[in-house]
Amino acid sequence: MFTFITFLLSCGLFLAPSAQAGRIKCWTNEDGMRECGSVVPPQFSQQGHEELNRQGVRVRTVKRAKTPEEIRAEIAKKEMCEKKARDKKMVREKEQELLALFSNEEDIITARDARLGTVDAAISSISAYIDSLNKNLADLEKNYEMGKNNKAVSKTERQTMVTNIKNVKQRLKNTHHTLRSKNTERKGIMTDFSEYLTRLQAIKERRAKQAQEEKSIKSKRNKKIDECTVILQQQKEKENREGRGRN
């Protein structure tokens, strides 16, 4: 296809002093024809163009302006990648917290058993106390029944028996509540440490897989960089350029 730039080259206009003063810009018009000149017409300024030096060699390509839809999609993609990066950072931080506490499964099991030993001792002690209170309550209720119709037992003594029975029942209620709390604590310990074991195993498996993948990569040039990594690197480079511009 014969174009305006071909005409300029054939006429040697690139050698003219006016052409040497700046680059020639080439664009495509509404008919699909390639046109060139010193300035891109306003109606074509958003569609992208090429810049040529005085020898007709392309030295720069200006991409077309992005549409509002493309800009919104790009922003959404960047935000998704930033969230993904934050999530990865949070996972790494949680992994480090766990590894700072436990280096292997044996450490987790030892710590779990120590916690369970303390709680089980408390549960045993509370259970024994409940047995003691139940026996005490049975004796009080038996004495009350025996003295209820016994004229030798005064009204004050019977009232004291009733008060003692109420007090023991309240202590039993409170102690049962404490026992339930300790049993709940024990279940929580089992759940927590089971999760620790699962997480540690997952960390070890992920790191082993990652090490294997890195080992299989012969050079950095063969390493596939995922799209989010590229987007975030470009964003960082842009921020660095803007920072240098302000300085």
116 lies in the same domain as 205: yes
**Class of residue 200 by CB neighbours under 10 A (exposed 0-12, middle 13-18, buried 19+):** buried
Full residue range of the structural domain in which residue 85 is found: 67-101
DSSP letter at 56 equals S
- Point out the least confidently predicted range of 54-58, 172-176, 222-226: 222-226
Tell me the pLDDT band of 245, cut-offs 50, 70 and 90. Answer: low
CA 83 to chain centre: 8
The whole-number pLDDT of residue 88 equals 87
Tokens at 25, concatenated: 């810009």
The whole-number pLDDT of residue 189 equals 97
Q: What is the CA radius of gyration of the chain?
A: 41
Per the CB < 8 A criterion, the answer to whether 40 and 49 are in contact is yes
Average pLDDT over residues 123-133: 97
CA separation for the pair 78, 84 (Å, rounded): 10
DSSP lists the bridge partners of residue 62 as: 49
Q: Are β-strands 24-28 and 58-62 bridged in parallel, bridged antiparallel, or unpaired?
A: unpaired
Q: Does 112 reside within a domain?
A: yes
129 lies in the same domain as 80: no
- Point out the least confidently predicted range of 91-100, 153-162, 183-192, 216-225: 216-225
126 lies in the same domain as 213: yes
Sign of the Cα torsion 173, 174, 175, 180 reads positive
80 lies in the same domain as 138: no
Domain boundary among 13, 31, 62: 62
∠ CA 79-80-82, rounded to 5°: 65
Q: Does 227 reside within a domain?
A: no
Considering the entire predicted model, what is its pTM?
0.55
- When the pLDDT of each residue in the chain is averaged and rounded to a whole number, the result is 84
Per the CB < 8 A criterion, the answer to whether 23 and 61 are in contact is no
32 lies in the same domain as 137: no
Q: Does 141 reside within a domain?
A: yes
144 lies in the same domain as 41: no
Going by C-alpha positions, the residue among 112, 111, 120 that lies closest to residue 183 is 120
108 lies in the same domain as 200: yes
Q: pLDDT tens-digit profile of 189-238?
A: 999 999 999 999 999 998 888 888 777 765 454 455 667 777 777 777 77
Rounded to the nearest 10°, the torsion over CA 166, 172, 176, 182 is: 130
Q: Does 151 reside within a domain?
A: yes
CA separation for the pair 168, 68 (Å, rounded): 77
Considering only residues 217 and 94, tell me which one the structure prediction assigns the higher pLDDT. Answer: 94
Q: What is the domain count for the chain?
A: 3
CA separation for the pair 138, 24 (Å, rounded): 108
Q: Does 243 reside within a domain?
A: no
Q: Does 225 reside within a domain?
A: no
DSSP lists the bridge partners of residue 34 as: 28
Domain boundary among 84, 101, 118: 101
141 lies in the same domain as 163: yes
Tell me the pLDDT band of 240, cut-offs 50, 70 and 90. Answer: confident
The whole-number pLDDT of residue 247 equals 57
82 lies in the same domain as 118: no
29 lies in the same domain as 76: no
The whole-number pLDDT of residue 1 equals 39
Average pLDDT over residues 1-16: 44
CA separation for the pair 34, 48 (Å, rounded): 12
CA 91 to chain centre: 6
Average pLDDT over residues 50-59: 87
132 lies in the same domain as 174: yes
- Point out the least confidently predicted range of 121-130, 160-169, 238-247: 238-247
Q: Does 224 reside within a domain?
A: no
Q: Does 184 reside within a domain?
A: yes
Residues with Cβ within 8 Å of 198's Cβ and at least 6 positions away in sequence, in order, are none
Q: Which residue do the tokens 């012969």 mark?
A: 218
107 lies in the same domain as 212: yes
